[in-house]
Amino acid sequence: AQTVTQSQPEMSVQEAETVTLSCTYDTSESDYYLFWYKQPPSRQMILVIRQEAYKQQNATENRFSVNFQKAAKSFSLKISDSQLGDAAMYFCAYRSAGYQLIWGAGTKLIIKP
Amino acid sequence: DSGVTQTPKHLITATGQRVTLRCSPRSGDLSVYWYQQSLDQGLQFLIQYYNGEERAKGNILERFSAQQFPDLHSELNLSSLELGDSALYFCASSSRATSGIPTDTQYFGPGTRLTVL
């Protein structure tokens, strides 16, 4: 069975600085998708970025980028120029062959003004 | 706004009762997923429907059931409620693909917060 591990329960960063959130996963599948979702205090689950495993190029969405290391089964999220609005829980998720998402435990990101 | 709607936003009920949570997917999405987010269990997949048919089951209790209707909205029924069922219940939908297979990205509704007293 697939598993997703986020080893950092909490991270903090100074506003305008860069922060990296870690995620590792375990799978025997070769074709899959990985996601980062953001959950602000409103509890809404918001898609931040996704990565297709067959693509070697790392996904980028504005200030958000990933470092996808398929062999190491690592999928970290880098947030550049951190803003106060980035404060939230960040969840790493793996989409299994059955299409449902398997979630990490989440990392709470604190932005210091 | 993801385009996925869920009602009600909040639900407070007593142990032993039964409740129904409703979800309307994004326009055109055929696939609906239900997830439970609780403090002790984190986020867990419950069940998936595609175009009215059950596609996959996760850690869904026998006291829980779901269905997807011809208009594609879905309902999650929770019965004989226990204190431990208190959680945030999310519905998500994913894009329709011409092949009939759901595409990869799931968009989430705002959730229904269930409190069992």
Chain A residues with CB under 8 Å of B42 CB are 103, 105-106
Bridge partners for B12 per DSSP: B115
pLDDT at B101 over 60: no
Measure in Å the smallest separation between the Cα of A100 and chain B Cα atoms. Answer: 7
> How far are the Cα atoms of A12, A43, A106, B76, B115 from residue B112, in angstroms, in the given order?
29, 10, 20, 11, 10
Measure in Å the smallest separation between the Cα of B15 and chain A Cα atoms. Answer: 24
Could you tell me what percentage of chain A is helix, strand and coil, using 3-state DSSP and rounding each to the nearest 5? 5, 50, 45
Asked if A47 and B48 come within 8 Å (Cβ–Cβ), the reply is no
pLDDT at A23 over 80: yes
Determine the distance from the C-alpha atom of residue B8 to the mean position of all C-alpha atoms in its chain, rounded to a whole number. Answer: 12
- The pLDDT value recorded for residue A74 is 97
| Chain segment A87-110, per-residue pLDDT in tens | 999 999 999 766 789 999 999 999
Q: Are A37 and A46 in contact (CB under 8 A)?
A: yes
Q: Which of residues 98-117 of B touch A (CB under 8 A)?
A: 102, 104-108, 110-111, 113
pLDDT at B100 over 60: no
| Chain segment A3-22, per-residue pLDDT in tens | 999 999 999 999 999 999 99
| Chain segment B14-71, per-residue pLDDT in tens | 999 999 999 999 988 889 999 999 987 788 999 999 999 999 999 899 999 999 999 9
Sign of the alpha-carbon dihedral angle for A39, B24, A102, A34: negative
- The pLDDT value recorded for residue A65 is 97
| Chain segment A42-98, per-residue pLDDT in tens | 999 999 999 988 888 999 999 999 999 999 999 999 999 999 999 999 999 999 766
Chain B residues with CB under 8 Å of A46 CB are 2, 108
Measure in Å the smallest separation between the Cα of A94 and chain B Cα atoms. Answer: 10
Chain A residues with CB under 8 Å of B90 CB are 45
Report the C-alpha gap between A50 and A53 in whole angstroms: 10
| Chain segment B85-94, per-residue pLDDT in tens | 999 999 999 8
